[in-house]
Amino acid sequence: MTDVDSDTILLDVFVTNQLRERLIAAALAPTKLPPEDYPIYVLVGSEGPWTPTGLAERTQMPLSTVLFRLRRLEERGHAERIPNPDDRRSYRVRLTSRGEKLLADARPRFRALAETVEAQIGKRTIAELRVGLAELRSAIEEEITPA
């Protein structure tokens, strides 16, 4: 038996993230979209086009990881580079029509499960969780930011 009082909130977040990954995998099982790439498809498809640097900042992922993930999308023919009108040395990435089609198939599958989970929790708790997570992110950023 474990002593949950000795766990940190960061362990709780880790365990929750593992379950989130399993939820995404279950939702996307009928598609050919790798679960680990799903958030990139969603962000590029719904908020894009993105520069790799901008996407790294948005996701708080290392730029090298974002470049790796974007390259995977490009290799599948699901994303393409386009000129960045704000910086000619840079580029933006957007989904191709094939990528958009895949996301249109995958997103409702995940959203249905996510909405079921949120309904179980309730809107008030969701709002409280968002505030708490924002506070947690802020506290973590404060600890990792050099003085």
Contact 93, 48 (CB under 8 A): yes
For residue 94, what is the domain's CATH number?
A: 1.10.10.10
Residues with Cβ within 8 Å of 102's Cβ and at least 6 positions away in sequence, in order, are 31, 32, 33, 41, 78
How many domains is the chain partitioned into structurally? 1
For 116-144, what is the mean pLDDT? 94
Report d(CA 30, CA 120) in Å as an integer.
Answer: 25
Per-residue pLDDT at 1: 47
Q: How confident is the model at residue 61 (pLDDT cuts 50, 70, 90)?
A: very high
9 Cβ contact partners less than 8 Å away, ≥ 6 residues apart = 136
- Provide the pLDDT for residue 4: 62
Domain span including residue 40: 4-144
